[in-house]
């Protein structure tokens, strides 16, 4: 069973009264009045009730009972059916809550299918601006779409903050497998956000072009404002996606550089150790005709040569940055 979040009738920019779900059509037919109904997870019976009252198209009702893959706008005569999505991020997991909007002459109906940020804030904002609310259904439609667009901003900022933290971690420490997995997961979330944001550009463009009895031409700049916000959001998400990709690439380059430095150090020490090993190998051969074996100070001379050779190699490698 669905829940009626709010149902009220408005006239001349003011709230007239709260109403029950069955009273909507009666108020909507009164000149200068419109009803705004908000439902949460309505069932087929409740949608059928709304269909009978407001003459909603049967295809729109069928659409409202289905799950969709992206936002869209459909027209049915003089009425609109819009699918929107609000992002919800809980404990690092990103979800999208689907909302259906029915808009026509005398009514605005929203059906939210999940627990996203409440649209009560939109109602409060509209009621606080009676001069704009006086426009009627089209201003409420703008306010709803603008609110949906706003919901993407804090989510994208939170993801951006996490990517920056991982970027600093990658720059200061060695690259870890969990860092790569987390960056990849955040990058996928960004792509998902773009997938749901992008169609809103098309929706806002269509609202600027459409000619409906309940959409005033003076409201078109407001829908253009939604389009501008969505476009900026797309640009921000593209930038965040690039940062995530670059962080992974930089991490891989730094890890390769660190491994190269380690390999150079091993090679340098191996070369230093090879010098005394070579000399010891020469004097370890069992030949009798080695004149220096009879020198009184031969042993100390060989140790000196080894020390000088190793020291020379060490400082040479140190100067070249290998040690």
In the predicted structure, residue 83 carries a pLDDT above the cut 90: yes
Tokens of 99: 């909302």
> Which of 99-113, 251-265, 270-284 has the largest mean confidence?
99-113
In this structure, what is the dihedral angle of CA atoms 179, 185, 188, 190, given to the nearest 10 degrees?
A: -80
CB atoms within 10 A of CB 119: 21
Share of the chain above pLDDT 70, in %: 89
Q: Helix 137-150 and helix 220-283: axis angle, to 10°? A: 10
Calculate ∠ Cα 166-168-171, nearest 5°.
110
pLDDT of res. 258? 67
pLDDT of res. 60? 86
Residue at token pair 């404990």: 91
At 212 the three-state DSSP class reads coil
Which pLDDT tens digit goes with each residue over 122-174? 889 899 988 888 888 899 999 999 999 999 999 999 998 988 888 887 777 76
Comparing 285 with 234, which gets the higher pLDDT? 234
Strands (E) in the chain, as ranges, are 3-11, 14-18, 33-40, 72-76, 79-90, 93-104, 107-113
Which pLDDT tens digit goes with each residue over 189-216? 999 999 999 999 899 888 888 777 778 8
Tokens of 39: 């439902």
pLDDT of res. 22? 86
Least confident span in 51-55, 111-115, 285-289 = 285-289
In the predicted structure, residue 289 carries a pLDDT above the cut 70: no
Q: Residues 53-80: what's their mean pLDDT?
A: 86
- pLDDT bracket for residue 37 (50, 70, 90): very high
Share of the chain above pLDDT 90, in %: 22
Q: How far is CA 313 from CA 225, 269, 306, 318, in A?
A: 69, 9, 11, 8
- pLDDT bracket for residue 291 (50, 70, 90): low
């Amino acid at each position: 069973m669905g829940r009626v979040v709010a149902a009220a009738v408005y006239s001349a920019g003011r709230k007239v009264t709260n109403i029950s779900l069955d009273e909507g059509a009666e108020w909507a037919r009164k000149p200068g009045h419109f009803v705004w109904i908000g439902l949460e997870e309505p069932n087929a019976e409740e949608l059928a009730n709304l269909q009978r009252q407001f003459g909603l198209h049967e295809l729109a009702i069928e659409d409202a009972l289905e799950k969709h893959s992206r936002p869209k706008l459909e027209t049915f005569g003089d009425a609109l059916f819009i699918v929107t999505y609000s992002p919800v991020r809980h404990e690092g997991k990103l979800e999208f809550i689907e909302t259906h909007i029915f808009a026509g002459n005398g009514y605005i109906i929203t059906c939210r299918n999940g627990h996203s940020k409440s649209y009560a804030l939109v109602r409060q904002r509209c009621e606080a601006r009676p001069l704009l609310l006086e426009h009627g259904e089209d201003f409420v439609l703008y306010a709803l779409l603008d609110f949906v667009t706003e919901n993407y901003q804090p989510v994208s900022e939170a993801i951006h903050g996490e990517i920056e933290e991982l970027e600093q971690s990658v720059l200061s420490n060695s690259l870890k497998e969990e860092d790569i997995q987390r960056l990849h997961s955040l990058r996928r979330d960004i792509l998902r956000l773009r997938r749901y944001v992008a169609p809103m550009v098309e929706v806002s463009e269509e609202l600027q072009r459409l000619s409906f009895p309940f959409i005033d031409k003076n409201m078109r700049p407001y829908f253009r404002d939604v389009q501008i916000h969505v476009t900026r959001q797309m640009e921000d998400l593209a930038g965040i996606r690039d940062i995530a990709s670059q962080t992974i690439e930089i991490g891989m380059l730094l890890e390769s550089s660190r491994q190269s430095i380690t390999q150079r150090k091993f090679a340098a020490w191996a070369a230093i150790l090879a010098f005394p090993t070579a000399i010891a190998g020469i004097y370890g051969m069992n030949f009798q005709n080695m004149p220096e074996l009879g020198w009184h100070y031969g042993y100390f001379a060989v140790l000196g040569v080894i020390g000088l050779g190793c020291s020379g190699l060490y400082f040479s490698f140190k100067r070249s940055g290998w040690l």
